[in-house]
Amino acid sequence: MLYHFWPKRVPGGFIGVDIFFVISGFLITTHLLKNPPRKLYDLAVFWGRRVRRLLPAAFTVIILTTVGVLLLGPMTQWQANGQSAIMSALYVENWNLAWTSVDYLASTAPPTALQHYWSLSVEEQFYLVWPILIGIAGLIVRKHWHRFRRVAGVATALVVSLSLAYSIYLTRIDPAQAYFVTPTRMWELGAGGVLAAVYPSLERRLSSVPAVKVALVAVGAGLIVWSGLRLTGDAFPGWIALVPVVGALLVIGAGPADYAVSFDRFLKWRPFQFLGDISYSLYLWHWPAVVLVPWALGHPMTWPIKLATIAVVIGLSWASKTFIEDRFRGSHPLGVPLRRTFIFLVTGMLVTAGVGFGAIVVTQVIGKPNQLPTVPATAVCIGAAARLDPACAAGDPHGSGLLMTPLQAAQDQNLAYADNCWWSQGSPDKYPICRYGSTDPAAPQIALFGNSHAGPYLNPLITIANNHNWALSTYLASRCYPSTLPLDFPDPAVQQGCADFTTRSIQDMKAHGVQLVVMSVRSQSVPLANAGTDQNQQLLNMDNDLLNLLTNNGFKVLVIRDVPYPPNSVIDCLSENLSNVGACDGPRSSRLLADPLFSAAQASTNPAVSALDFTDAICDDTTCWDVVGGVIVYFNQGHLTTTFANSLLPYLEPAVVAALP
């Protein structure tokens, strides 16, 4: 909770989840070792207890949070939060986040108000399989029951070893996905299970050496505190997660120690006991507050507001624990037949997921996101013309009113997405190329080469190609960009795939007789591998080599400067400020980032290289706008809408014609 309210003050506070996993694995395994499931009914009893203990409060928070999103959140966030509600109700939110983490556009979206259910999803999936594992251990030793704890411990240790190895591997090659998926987290829960298996023996050995117990707690607490203050989340979970996990194991393993100076006396302090009692509800309620309160206020929370919000969250958690959690505790709060618990499970999931689905339906009905904007043929001073047409430049750069809604802008994406023209990290050995315009082999050939910031120029370039009977080919990558040096991707296969993207693209351009290469990139997203401290200078040197490589292969090159980059999602801001779109504008000095490729092209004396800058279509000397000439400029944080890119057509076409041999 402290991490989520003050992430910069407690940068490693996310390790609270890892400690939670250890505690949960220890407690559940301890219970299962004392009451091992010996038949299917025993499994049903175990699962039924978990359902009654965890799901009533969880369903309540999902439903109320989803309603809160619809009342307080921007319309552009309704659908994502509705989907999160469905996934959370089904306890697969961790897999939902793992999928979106590898989706370039989705990975930059703001967090949903139910994103924290990922850890509860991992826990529930653990609860689903763990009693089966312990039950199998019981079957193995059914004639030698005195070996049960040992066999269960060995089985648990095997799971921990395999899961930890996979966590280290996946964290190295795909850290975003590794953070959420169950196999990379199972070892943390299993570590608590291993401790549960050896705990009775450990307790006997430590009971006579109190100094060792105190030392274990001191070291364990030190590891936890160090992790909370020093870890940053890089390469996590992986092997670095061993630090907080081992810390938690040491504190738990030391066992009770009611000495004059002991950790137990500290934890017996009434406020900590109270927080322990409400901790589950506290976890459920605090993250929705972190997301919803700034939406309600219209600005980030200040310290006083954060403290007041925490007080409210604690009050909600107490009420939730008292009137929901406690109400469903015990063996038969839903009636005597066990099946009623599972009827509640299915009904609760359907109702809760239905609320999430309702949020998606409301988005479709009210926002009409699939109804793309249409600009009247007779309209003037629309989009870029409001700034670049001298007859329009004196007016308000925002235009007289919005010609599209933020939800429509979110769907106003270039054809490269619909036609799947991207090289991506998920398929580093596939290099899709899309071809448009003339199919005549003798037609002049042009190419669009770059990453997702080149994509918006595809639609106007198709129009230009059709106007002049040219052929157009795309060589586009998601996040990767053309480079003569390796980029810093953690997965060697992705790093090699990105390098191959550049060489294969150039080879295909030569094979198809491309004459002009139109380029635009955002290179800040992925640094060069093994680069020094001056990344921009390294990129500039590399881009000079890249331009020489292209021109030496006989291509003319037109480089379009990367567009200004807003700090947050444009459509979310506009959704909350429809009556004052200027509230979303920002300073040019912070939005117009360095573009080494453009700088290299601009400084080049090679006549085959030219440069084009559309910054003046979006910014003046001091301010950059998110709405220009009634058109929303970006469909997310930094990619041009197709409508705005098409409005650049009258200014792009002459530059392309001039650059073509």
Question: Cα separation of 237 and 384, whole Å?
Answer: 46
Query: Is the same domain home to 332 and 478?
Result: no
63 with 193, same domain: the answer is: yes
**Sign of the CA dihedral running 235, 236, 237, 241:** positive
pLDDT tens by residue, 154-191? 999 999 999 999 999 999 888 888 999 999 999 999 99
User: Quick one: pLDDT at residue 352?
Assistant: 97
| Residues 353, 250 share a domain | yes
Q: Determine the residue type at 303.
A: W
Q: Is the pLDDT of residue 377 over 90?
A: no
For residue 490, pLDDT over 80 is answered with: yes
Domain boundary among 306, 338, 364: 364
Structural domain boundaries, residue 651:
411-567+588-614+641-659
Q: CA–CA separation, 97 vs 77, rounded Å?
A: 15
Q: Are residues 322 and 432 in the same domain?
A: no
Per-residue confidence (pLDDT) for residue 86, from 0 to 100: 97
Average model confidence (pLDDT) across the chain: 91
Read off the pLDDT of each residue in 87-99 and give the average, rounded to a whole number.
94
Structure tokens at 487: 């980029």
- Verify that 21 and 90 share a domain, yes or no: yes
Query: Strand pairing partners for 447?
Result: 473, 517
Residues 347 and 458 in one domain: no
Does 572 reside within a domain?
A: no
- Rg for the chain (alpha carbons), in Å? 29
Task: Please indicate, yes or no, whether residues 350 and 419 belong to a single structural domain of this protein.
Answer: no
What percentage of residues in the chain have a pLDDT greater than 70? 95
* Buried b or exposed e, range 253-274, using 16+ CB within 10 angstroms: bbeebeeeebbeeeeeeeeeee
Provide the 8-state DSSP code for 435. Answer: E
Tell me if 375 sits within 8 A of 642, measured CB to CB. no
Of 205-209, 259-263, 538-542, 576-580, the least confident: 259-263
pLDDT for res 299: 87
Pair 352, 424 in one domain: no
* Average pLDDT of the residues in 622-643: 93
Q: Let me know whether 428 and 344 are in one domain.
A: no
- Please say whether the beta carbons of 471 and 438 come within 8 A: yes
For residue 31, the number of C-alpha atoms closer than 13 Å in the C-beta half-sphere is 15
Per-residue pLDDT, 579: 85
pLDDT of 335 reads 61
Place of tokens 């500290």: 266
Q: And the tokens for 436?
A: 């448009």
Q: Is residue 576 part of a domain?
A: no
Provide long-range contacts, Cβ within 8 A and 24+ apart, for 546-551. Answer: 546/482, 546/483, 546/484, 546/502, 546/597, 546/600, 547/597, 547/600, 547/601, 547/604, 547/606, 547/609, 548/606, 549/484, 549/506, 550/506, 550/517, 551/606, 551/608, 551/609
Q: Domain check: are 78 and 159 in the same one? A: yes
- For the cut 80, the answer to whether the pLDDT of residue 368 exceeds it is no
Quote the pLDDT of residue 106. 56
- pLDDT reading at 104 higher than 70: no
How far is it, in rounded angstroms, from Cα 168 to Cα 260? 41
pLDDT of residue 328: 87
Tell me which residue has tokens 């001091």.
622
The model's pLDDT over 248-267, given as tens digits with 9 standing for 90+, comes to 999 999 988 776 667 777 88
Token representation of residue 133: 């594992």
The reported pLDDT for the residue numbered 332 is 65
**Domain stop point among 333, 364, 395:** 364
pLDDT of residue 310: 97
Entry pTM: 0.86
Query: If pLDDT is split at 50, 70 and 90, which confidence band does 622 have?
Result: very high
Looking at residue 529, its pLDDT comes to 82
Query: What is residue 619's DSSP assignment?
Result: B
Residue 372 banded pLDDT, cuts 50, 70, 90: low
In a domain, 624, yes or no: no
The CATH code of the domain that includes 513 is 3.40.50
Whether the bond between 7 and the residue before it is cis, its omega within 30 degrees of 0, is no
> What is the domain count for the chain?
2
DSSP H helices, 174-209, are 175-178, 186-206
- Give me the pLDDT at residue 427, please: 82
Bridge partners (DSSP) of residue 611 are: 559
For residue 175, being part of any structural domain is answered with yes
Whether 554 maps to a domain, the answer reads: yes
Residues 106 and 220 in one domain: yes
Per-residue pLDDT band at 331 (split at 50, 70, 90): low
Handedness of CA 169, 170, 176, 181 (dihedral sign): negative
Does residue 331 form part of some domain?
yes
- DSSP letter assigned to residue 616: G
The per-residue pLDDT for range 234-250, each reduced to its tens digit, is 888 999 999 999 999 99
473 located within any domain? yes
Question: Residue 531: its pLDDT value, please?
Answer: 67
pLDDT in the model for residue 57: 96
Domain assignment of residue 387, yes or no = no
Which tens digits make up the pLDDT trace of 381-401?
A: 899 999 999 988 777 899 888
321, 429: one domain:
no
Average of per-residue pLDDT across 513-541: 86
